[in-house]
Structure 1
């Protein structure tokens, strides 16, 4: 499972780093059309998570993963033929549907592979995944430097090949059979009646705004609002990934129960409350002091990212019943995807539009969300029997 995830993320790093350049420079689509198409695809893809998770619970999660990997291989090859906005949007929507379905089924597989410690295993996977993305991004940098159609095409073919490798390695993972559910539950989605988990999914989705904050907003902030050297844009990305690779498994391995997860979300909120004002201060500093502030701020932010993701794993797996892990992970993915879809508009308005006040407001928002973590965890623990329709 670790090797499968690693192969997949190398391919993602190769493709995602230079995808926008391929679509604009090789497929000759305007950047605005690419952005619109990806937004449409993201909204369509959100529809797949919960149904795919339900299917994974009823038919076996590995089977669903293998089918979605086959679809993603086909969509990668389909991108090579894209030369119009409609074709691009259709292929991107199919790709995103398969991705969201894969993530839901993958969560169910992780819950079974991780046995009694799924959150710790998920943290280990995330550390390996970050390393794979870094390696893929380094390979993409070569293609971007060459800046030829052949180089960009090679990235897409490599990503398609990574899905095949991922699937072949996944065949070595046991084909876990569905966990039986009571007859009265077989036609109902448990997760839609589980209010504590619905609340947690909303909190998790909003705290997930910290991802586009680093990938989208921070590079623009550094380049347009600070005097820091331009190379700090790349340095910030390297530090962010490096901290996650080095510390994700070490910290995440200690965050396993819902109670641990709630406390971790609170700690993440406090770390974001420290990092956001520091990022705001970079606008007032000279070049090298700004670079130092950025290094400190992104280190704190990366630690917050580790605690936020590890807390989410502990709550996501710990509050979900074994017989509906795919269904629950699908809803969790839906909340995350919705946050990512709304994030760019919200974050650019706050941080780039409001400036320093926006950064402070964002830090306070993260702290408030994190503070709800322990309460949500306790609510979930206290109501597991009633929320799942079982005898307490």
Structure 2
């Protein structure tokens, strides 16, 4: 097929129509900017703001803790206000926070502005997922797969651009990269203005004039099953810590392979996600199918942990092959879990409280960002046995989640109807 025709066909296959494609364009712009900043943030605080290693670590930890509130706050507000307006406000908030970082080297203000940016980032993540849920209806998993593919491509472009920009080695480049991040958020905000507001069952319930149709929205903080589900999700998100912390430290301290393997495995992870995420999403387009994917997901985690453990027992070539196999296994786990999570997190949430529930679900990733580095560091410290236990523990958590959601999902919930709620 001709490349132009192939691109057009790919575009037409995206759920959500024109607004779905616009939101994917927003994701691309957003993640290009994030890729520019994420790869150099530590260097910026070190060389431009002249912070010590301890100060940089504390800044990241404190700002991350303060930003956790972004997910539940964004979700709760989305049940009451138009989601496009909230996305516009959040993107502007992120742009202002990035610009503010450029204007100061005061440590307290750097923490505050970083926390504001983190708050906005986590709120935007939940709002974007909720937008896809409302816009794409029963095709939400497939749409999220396109979204994640585009987002990963954006991260790659931003990261490569940052690497090229850093070649001259001047500190001024860091400021330009941060400015590029701020401009990406501003551009995303402007693009959001062109997106139509999707139907919202929660706001229909809240604004209905008929008392018979009005009911008090469910509270996710009182839903023990959903909270238990979110707790298992925090464990399944640990694949993120493997690539950001586990693999680099394991290669650096416990293997005899070249350190140059680290970026190559990161590239492999990114390429696999871009190439395979949409295809794998086809196996989780219903709630029942998504739940069944927890079985191969548990196997992928177990294999990844086992390969990491075995990589310490052979020579350089054997270790390289096993580490590559581990990266493939954990990337498969990452993609399978993304598919499962997109569907179950929505299917388990009452329609009138989707925003609040997805906001609480967003805390799973926030918790993983705190606990994940500690978990993989513990696995590294205990050697091959630690990695085997790491993989098996997550595999067991998959089994627990599989059983946990079974009782909640009735037979009628296993096929998701199209959302056709009117707000008038």
Which TM-score tier does this pair reach, normalised by the shorter chain? over 0.9
Task: Give the 4+ runs in structure 1 shifted more than 6 A.
Answer: 183-187
Pairwise CA distance, 1:201: 1.1
In structure 1, the partner of 2:180 is 158
Classify the secondary structure of the residue corresponding to 1:181: helix
Contact 1:61 1:326 in 2 (8 A): no
Contact 1:213 1:347 in 2 (8 A): yes
In structure 2, the partner of 1:82 is 104
Give the TM-score normalised by structure 2: 0.86
2:238 aligned with 1:238: no
Q: Which runs of 5+ in 2 are unaligned?
A: 1-22, 414-424
Counterparts of 2:176 and 2:214, CA distance in 1: 47
Cα distance change on mapping 1:234 and 1:155 into 2, 3 Å: same
In structure 2, the partner of 1:282 is 311
Q: Which runs of 5+ in 1 are unaligned?
A: 386-392
Contact 1:217 1:347 in 2 (8 A): yes
In structure 2, the partner of 1:101 is 123
Pairwise CA distance, 1:132: 1.0
**Aligned partner of 1:359 among 387, 393, 399:** 387
2:84 aligned with 1:62: yes
Classify the secondary structure of the residue corresponding to 2:50: coil
Contact 2:239 2:333 in 1 (8 A): no
Counterparts of 1:256 and 1:177, CA distance in 2: 21
Pairwise CA distance, 1:265: 2.5
Classify the secondary structure of the residue corresponding to 1:228: coil
In structure 1, the partner of 2:289 is 260
Counterparts of 1:223 and 1:144, CA distance in 2: 23
In structure 2, the partner of 1:330 is 359
Contact 1:118 1:317 in 2 (8 A): no
Q: Trace 1:290-301 onto structure 2 (pairs within 5 A).
A: 290-301=319-330
Counterparts of 2:257 and 2:74, CA distance in 1: 45
In structure 2, the partner of 1:388 is none
**Aligned partner of 1:199 among 220, 223, 228:** 228
In structure 2, the partner of 1:181 is 205
Contact 1:205 1:336 in 2 (8 A): yes
Deviations 1:124-171 (A, max 9, x none): 111111111111111111133322122111111111111122122222
Pairwise CA distance, 1:352: 2.1
2:403 aligned with 1:381: no
Classify the secondary structure of the residue corresponding to 1:139: helix
Contact 2:237 2:364 in 1 (8 A): no
In structure 1, the partner of 2:132 is 110
Q: Trace 1:206-225 onto structure 2 (pairs within 5 A).
A: 206-225=235-254
Deviations 1:350-392 (A, max 9, x none): x22111111011011111011123223322213999xxxxxxx
Structure number with larger C-alpha Rg: 2
Once structures 1 and 2 are overlaid, which stretch shifts more, 197-206 or 373-382?
A: 373-382
In structure 2, the partner of 1:42 is 64
Deviations 1:247-280 (A, max 9, x none): 0111013312222222223321211100111112
Classify the secondary structure of the residue corresponding to 1:320: coil
Counterparts of 1:384 and 1:24, CA distance in 2: 55
Contact 1:270 1:370 in 2 (8 A): no
In structure 1, the partner of 2:142 is 120
Counterparts of 2:101 and 2:326, CA distance in 1: 38
Counterparts of 1:247 and 1:40, CA distance in 2: 36
In structure 2, the partner of 1:168 is 190
Contact 1:60 1:177 in 2 (8 A): no
In structure 1, the partner of 2:13 is none
Once structures 1 and 2 are overlaid, which stretch shifts more, 288-297 or 236-245?
A: 288-297
Count of paired positions: 384
Counterparts of 1:258 and 1:32, CA distance in 2: 45
Counterparts of 2:257 and 2:292, CA distance in 1: 35
Cα distance change on mapping 1:80 and 1:130 into 2, 3 Å: same
Contact 2:272 2:331 in 1 (8 A): yes
Counterparts of 1:245 and 1:152, CA distance in 2: 28
Give the TM-score normalised by structure 1: 0.93
Contact 1:201 1:336 in 2 (8 A): no
Pairwise CA distance, 1:176: 3.0
2:370 aligned with 1:346: no
Classify the secondary structure of the residue corresponding to 1:68: helix
